[in-house]
Structure 1
Amino acid sequence: MAKVIVGITGNEKELPAMSGLKYVTVARDLADGVKKAGGLPIVIPMGNPSLAKDYVAMVDKLILSGGQHVDPRFYGEDRTIDSDDYLLARDEFEIALIKEAIRQQKPIFAVCRGMQLLNVALGGSLRQEVSGHWQKDLRGTSHGLKVKPHSRVSQLFGQGSQINSFHHQSIKQLAPGLVATAHDPRDGTIEAFESQGALALLGIQWHPEFLCQNCDQNRLLFDYLVHQL
């Protein structure tokens, strides 16, 4: 049986800093999570939006990975924070991938920034700055989950399941057609959403790739992505 091909959006980083050398990057743990679940991960480098149709046609499912802030122009706002952590070309390319994946009826799994971008691409908005959602250590967890019963997320995570937290922005207005399925019980931040109806969209605010080696729930999330979403 052919493996499920999962496209993962790549970021672009200058390494070393100020060197002028740019690399396509993605967290290895994200690709490893797909491989361990039996899928075949393919990193999609940032490119011209005109390439989105062909890239999406190559894959069975799409992962939107983490990274920079989403430019607020895409939800009709000006920047209200002092930050240079934006990459407009990436926003434009990944929005094109989202629209094409929806057109081709390919499932989308969105992580952290990816979740925020998916919400914006579908007509939602973001809080440009939130506090108390960036933990100090890369490994480990930060807080629990309040999970909506009978949701996709509830098939894998129970009430109080512990997750990590690495984000400075969060969902403000949820896009039409999406339903919030997990929240941070501390302040109500949306930690997961999913689509209604036949179209398979699942977004989570935490980084399961940093937890799946030592957490069965997050490991099974990759199994769900590859075999069921």
Structure 2
Amino acid sequence: MAKVIVGITGNEKEMPAMSGIQYVAVAKDLSEGVKQAGGLPIVIPIGQPEMAKDYVYVVDKLILSGGQNVDPRFYGQEKEIESDDYSLARDEFELALIKEALRQKKPIFAVCRGMQLVNVALGGSLHQSIQDHWQEDVLGTSHQIDIKPNSRVSQLFQVGTQINSFHRQSIKELAADLVATAHDPRDGTIEAYESKGQHAILGIQWHPEFLAKNCSSNQRLFDYLVKTL
């Protein structure tokens, strides 16, 4: 039986710093989570929007990975913060991937920035700057989540589950086609959502790939993506 092919969106990273040499970059733990679940991960580098159709065609499922802020022009706002942590090329390409994944009926698993971008693609908006959602230690967790009963997340995580937090933006207005399924009890931040209709979409605000090695629930997210979503 052929393995499920999971495309993972890549970022670009200059290595060594100040060298001018760009590498395609994605957290290894994302691809490891897919492999542990029995899938075949393929990293998709940032490309031209017109390339999205062919990329989506060759994968079975799509992971939108974490990274930069989403440019507010895509949800009808001006920039409110001083930051250079944006990539217009990445936004444009990944928005095209989302459109194609929906058109071709390919499941989407969206992580952190990816979750925010899918919300924007479907008509939602973002808080451009939030406080107290960036933990200093890459390892470990920072707060728990409240989970909506009878949701996809509730099938994978127990009440009181602790998650990590590495984001400086968050969902403001949730797109009409999505339903929130987990929140941060401290301030109500949406930590997970899923699609209401026929499209298979699961969005997670935290980074499960950093927790999956030592947390079976977070690995089950990848199992769910490969085998069920």
Q: TM-score range by the shorter chain?
A: over 0.9
Counterpart check, 1:165 vs 2:162: no
Q: Report the Cα distance in structure 2 between the residues aligned to 1:63 and 1:219, rounded to whole angstroms.
A: 14
Q: Report the Cα distance in structure 2 between the residues aligned to 1:160 and 1:187, rounded to whole angstroms.
A: 16
TM-score, L = length of structure 2: 0.99
1:204 is matched with 204
Q: Report the Cα distance in structure 1 between the residues aligned to 2:17 and 2:110, rounded to whole angstroms.
A: 27
Q: Deviations over 1:76-115 (max 9, x none)?
A: 0000001000000000000000000000000000000000
AA matched with 1:44:
I
What is the identity percentage for the equivalent residue pairs of Structure 1 and Structure 2?
A: 75
2:17 is matched with 17
Question: How many residues end up aligned between the 2 structures?
Answer: 229
Q: Report the Cα distance in structure 1 between the residues aligned to 2:65 and 2:85, rounded to whole angstroms.
A: 15
Q: Deviations over 1:199-228 (max 9, x none)?
A: 100000000000000001001111001000
1:115 is matched with 115
Q: Report the Cα distance in structure 1 between the residues aligned to 2:95 and 2:29, rounded to whole angstroms.
A: 24
Shift of 1:197: 2.1
Give SS of 1:20's match. Answer: coil
1:41 is matched with 41
1:148 is matched with 148
Q: Report the Cα distance in structure 2 between the residues aligned to 1:110 and 1:68, rounded to whole angstroms.
A: 14
1:179 is matched with 179
Shift of 1:35: 0.3
Q: Report the Cα distance in structure 2 between the residues aligned to 1:115 and 1:130, rounded to whole angstroms.
A: 16
1:52 is matched with 52
Q: Deviations over 1:135-181 (max 9, x none)?
A: 01001001001000000110001221000000000000001110000
Q: Report the Cα distance in structure 1 between the residues aligned to 2:112 and 2:131, rounded to whole angstroms.
A: 15
Which aligned runs of 4 or more in structure 1 are off by greater than 6 angstroms?
Answer: none
Q: Deviations over 1:21-54 (max 9, x none)?
A: 0110000000000001000000000000000000
AA matched with 1:157:
F
Q: Report the Cα distance in structure 1 between the residues aligned to 2:142 and 2:226, rounded to whole angstroms.
A: 26
Counterpart check, 1:128 vs 2:138: no
> Any stretches of 5+ residues in structure 1 without a counterpart?
none
1:96 is matched with 96
2:78 is matched with 78
Aligned Cα RMSD in Å?
A: 0.5
TM-score, L = length of structure 1: 0.99
